[in-house]
Amino acid sequence: MKINFPLYTAFMVSLFVLTGCGQSDYRPESTASGEQMFAQACSGCHGEGGQGRFGFLLTIAGTEHPADKVATKILEGGLIMPEFVQLTEEQRLEIANYLKP
């Protein structure tokens, strides 16, 4: 198997950069809105307003996924996304609804 080193290197650098994304220990103020929580905990990776920090990469604004699915993703995290288990279900849904079109 032949490895495309420039592509492989770009992929590995991207993973390295993105592993710094997110604050899994984020604890919002009790009065924080979905928009405020997103700006404080998510915009570092997903960009301001969810438009993607790296162009199309990590764009989440206007997602067609149901709010409960987005809230579950916030809870469980993913390959490079941290899990936000300290957020309440209500807080996760507020963030998810902020992202809806």
Each residue's pLDDT tens digit, 47-62: 988 988 877 778 898 9
Instruction: Determine the pLDDT at residue 16.
Output: 47
Over residues 8-22, mean pLDDT: 52
Cβ atoms 33, 93 nearer than 8 A: no
Each residue's pLDDT tens digit, 69-100: 999 999 999 888 999 999 999 999 999 999 98
Q: Between 4 and 69, where is the model more confident?
A: 69
Domain segments of the chain as ranges: 5-99
pTM across the whole model: 0.76
Q: What separation in angstroms does the CA of 19 have from each of 41, 68, 79?
A: 14, 25, 9
Q: Class for domain 5-99, per CATH? A: mainly alpha
Residue 63, judged by CB atoms within 10 A of its CB (0-12, 13-18, 19+), counts as: middle
